[in-house]
Homo-oligomer: A and B are copies of this chain.
Amino acid sequence: MSTSRTELKDLGKFKLIETITENFKLHHPTSIHGIGDDAAVIDTGNFYILVTTNMLVEGVAFDLTYCPLKHVGYKAVVGTMADIIAMNGTLEQITVSIAISNRFTLEAVQELYQGIYRACEHYKVDLVGGDTTSSTSGLILSITAIGKVVKEKLCLRKGAKPYDLVCVTGDLGAAYLGLQILNREKKIFEVDPHMQPKLEPYQHLIERQLKPEARTEIIQLFDQENILPSSMIDISGGLASGLLHINKVSGVGITIYENKLPINQKTYETAEALHLSSTLCALHGGEDYELLFTIPQSELPKIEKHPNIHVIGYVTDVSLGVKLITNSDESIEINAQGW
């Protein structure tokens, strides 16, 4: 028995997963891809089943001071869905497990499930199972999503090739700034419980934080236009993290341009007001539930007019690393540095 003591905080999430799962082997030929992509891939003969799972802990993933339970439920479904979409798949079923302390009433749990219900109705997803148990503190949610994808249309993080275009959907940084605003108002509220939070000017940011949507229409577009991304990843963990994953797994370099990053006007203004860099918010903020993907240059005509798809750079040789070309034409190496 080893008596060494390694603190988890010194390790980081990805290194932890790598360390604890290194000995595991796959026994079944149906297990096509295991750990290491947005979802696991299981062969059913006719198509692939995609499986992904998220665990959300109160006080870590969400704060009930400003996040209504309905939104927690809705966002939990969308977050899990984003992983299925990032494989170019469609979500069909979910299971939801909850652990709840006796602080919660039936009415509170019902509110949570109203959010889950809303997301299930909106995205046509079936809740097919789950578990309920008590917790010693707070609320913990675990959602597993089961999707499917036509075999030939599966998109992995692996597959990007030099000269491919690098694209992102939607706009970046807003969810992170929404969180900063909510945290600021929470602190003011803690000092003065009679204050009215000033949230109206930040509606876009707060909506991106509290009620994100899944990019199902992009997957539909790929299908209609017969586009097959060479690689794809969900960037709810941040754009920089997504770029580094594709860099590592595809074995390519990536160069992106600061002036191509899709940043909403309100995101710019708010970042400035809070003395933050909107570029860093876009790179590392996370929780945007957007897609990062690469496509061959020949596919450009099919996507360049789409209002929610933005070409931000191109794929290079792996020796060039992951680079940001700034507005002042400097080349900066992008790393996993968070905040």
Contacts and interface: CB of A to CB of B under 8 A. Distances in A.
Contact of A144 (B16, B30, B51, B106): B51
A44 B110 CA distance: 32
Interface in A16-71: 16-17, 19-21, 23-28, 30-31, 33-35, 39-40, 42, 44-47, 49, 51-61
Nearest to A11: B106
A95 interface: yes
Contacts of A124: 27-28
A104 B8 contact: yes
Counting chain A residues whose Cβ lies within 8 A of the other chain, the interface size class is: 35 or more
B131 A53 contact: yes
A250 interface: no
A298 interface: no
B8 A128 contact: no
A93 interface: yes
A338 interface: no
A265 interface: no
Given A40-B128, A55-B99, 4 more contacts: A5-B105, A27-B125, A30-B92, A42-B128
B95 A128 contact: no
Contact of A46 (B31, B45, B113): B45
A13 B128 contact: no
A135 interface: yes
A313 to B, nearest CB: 29
Given A102-B9, A105-B7, A113-B21, A93 B40 contact: yes
Given A28-B92, A45-B44, A106-B7, A60 B134 contact: yes
A51 B133 contact: no
A319 interface: no
Contacts of A137: 136-138
A218 to B, nearest CB: 21
Contacts of A232: none
A24 B51 CA distance: 21
22 contacts: A4-B107, A7-B106, A8-B104, A8-B105, A20-B109, A21-B113, A23-B117, A26-B128, A27-B125, A28-B92, A30-B93, A31-B126, A40-B128, A42-B92, A42-B128, A45-B46, A51-B129, A52-B129, A53-B131, A54-B131, A55-B99, A59-B136
Contacts of A5: 105, 107
B127 A34 contact: yes
A17 B140 contact: no
A98 interface: yes
A133 B127 CA distance: 23
Contacts of A24: 117, 120, 126-127
B55 A142 contact: yes
A49 B52 contact: no
Interface string A77-112: 000000000000000110101111010111101100
A146 interface: yes
Nearest to A123: B27
**What are the 8 tightest A-B residue pairs by CB atom distance, in nearest-first order?**
A40-B128, A142-B142, A6-B106, A44-B44, A55-B97, A34-B128, A144-B144, A40-B129
